[in-house]
Amino acid sequence: MEPESGDPQATFREVRFTTEHDAKVSRAGAIETALAGLVVAALPIVVSMPWWATVLVVLGGVLMLGFAAHLRWAEPESASDTARLESEGVAARAQIADAEDVPDVGVLHRISLLVGADGLTAFEATHLCSNRVCQGAVARHRRGERATLPVLVSPTAGEWMVSHRRASR
């Protein structure tokens, strides 16, 4: 990935907007999930069950531990990426080119964006989001109004993100 090369096909990685508070809550959830996974995995020691149930229970506990590990490391990494982009990134506006609804429990949109700023080669990106800022922008786009989202781009790191925090200021 060489976004600064002037190559219009260079790819940028989207950073998921994550606050430090989100990362702390994720760490706490990871600890709780890991403890529950250990309890579930150890359950066959104290409860008599058929061999196949023992295998399923232990596998369930191991899966919980894997999920806990993901919670523990993914969110804090995303929070540090967010902090870095907020301090070093170039502020830009991304024009919504298209938006489609994605089947989900809540309102979820797949938003096609055209990201560009002064001194930055414009690029296309896709953002999957249910944030109210993005919902409002999608609603404006569907009414035929010009709709943009605030983004931060780091050409040197090859990263970008929709900055929901900047939109709410």
Average pLDDT (39-61) is: 92
The pLDDT assigned to 74 comes to 74
What are 1-44's pLDDT values in tens digits? 333 444 444 578 888 877 778 778 888 888 899 999 999 999 99
Sheet holding 109-117, edge to edge: 13-14, 159-162, 148-154, 90-101, 109-117, 120-129
Residue 98 sits in the same domain as residue 162: yes
Q: What percentage of the chain carries pLDDT values higher than 90?
A: 30
Residue 79 sits in the same domain as residue 141: no
Q: Is residue 122 part of a domain?
A: yes
The pLDDT assigned to 77 comes to 76
Q: Is residue 12 part of a domain?
A: no
Q: Is residue 139 part of a domain?
A: yes
Q: Is residue 11 part of a domain?
A: no
The pLDDT assigned to 158 comes to 84
Q: Is residue 9 part of a domain?
A: no
Q: What is the CATH number of the domain that holds 163?
A: 2.40.50.140
3-state DSSP assignment of residue 109: strand
Q: Is residue 5 part of a domain?
A: no
Q: Are 164 and 17 in contact (CB under 8 A)?
A: yes
Residue 100 sits in the same domain as residue 140: yes
3-state DSSP assignment of residue 56: helix
What are 146-162's pLDDT values in tens digits? 999 999 888 888 888 89
What integer best gives the mean pLDDT of the chain? 83
The domain in which residue 59 lies consists of 20-83
The pLDDT assigned to 2 comes to 36
Residue 97 sits in the same domain as residue 158: yes
What are 139-149's pLDDT values in tens digits? 999 999 999 99
Q: Is residue 93 part of a domain?
A: yes
Q: Are 154 and 117 in contact (CB under 8 A)?
A: no
Question: How many domains is the chain partitioned into structurally?
Answer: 2
Confidence of residue 116 (pLDDT cuts 50, 70, 90): confident
The pLDDT assigned to 166 comes to 56
Residue 59 sits in the same domain as residue 100: no
The pLDDT assigned to 98 comes to 92
